[in-house]
Amino acid sequence: MIFTLNDIALLVVVLLAGLVLGMMMSGRGKYKRAWHDEQAAHRQTIKDRDARIAAADARMVEMERRPAVVAPAAVAGTAVAGSAVADSDHGRDDLSRINGIGQTQETVLNEAGYHRYAQIAALNAEQEGAIEARLGLKPGTIAHEDWRQQAHALDTDTSRGGLFGRSATPV
């Protein structure tokens, strides 16, 4: 019987695969114990992750129950700051509808106590500067992008509830 080079290569591959499988199955359960240990470690990691998520959820619920804290440097001594805390319990406007405000900037504005379009529309120059510094914007960006006018238009708009800012058409 004559073996070709392909037959010899296939035989070597099969013998090596058998050797590797044999080594894995032997070892008096060493690899099986290692596998079970790895499974136990994975289960513990999953439990730890779930516990961290539950703790984070509990912290979020607790933070949502507390009244909003207004940063003194951003809105010190303004009448809008007091109304920001009062309005935070009654809901929030989607400030990201204002051109130039993204989701992260909206979050920062909410943390600063700005939740309503009326609050943005009532900003003065000092407050604009403080907000621009807090958001990391160039000075004059709020005035250039005309946030106050956009906020005023959105505040007076009665069709805010529709999809993509469109009013619902009666059927």
> If you average pLDDT over every residue of the chain, what do you get?
80
For helices 125-135 and 103-111, the axis angle rounded to 10 degrees is: 120
By CB atoms closer than 10 A (0-12, 13-18, 19+), residue 138 is: exposed
Q: How confident is the model at residue 42 (pLDDT cuts 50, 70, 90)?
A: very high
Q: How confident is the model at residue 160 (pLDDT cuts 50, 70, 90)?
A: low
- Residue 59 CA: distances (Å) to CA of 52, 55, 62, 136, 169: 10, 6, 5, 28, 41
Contact 93/99 with Cβ under 8 angstroms? Answer: no
Between CA 83 and CA 113 the distance in angstroms is 9
The whole-number pLDDT of residue 55 equals 95
The whole-number pLDDT of residue 163 equals 46
Residue 69 has pLDDT above 90, yes or no: no
pLDDT in tens, 120-135: 999 998 988 999 898 8
Residue 29 has pLDDT above 50, yes or no: yes
Q: How confident is the model at residue 85 (pLDDT cuts 50, 70, 90)?
A: very low
pLDDT higher at 76 or 145: 145
pLDDT higher at 50 or 21: 50
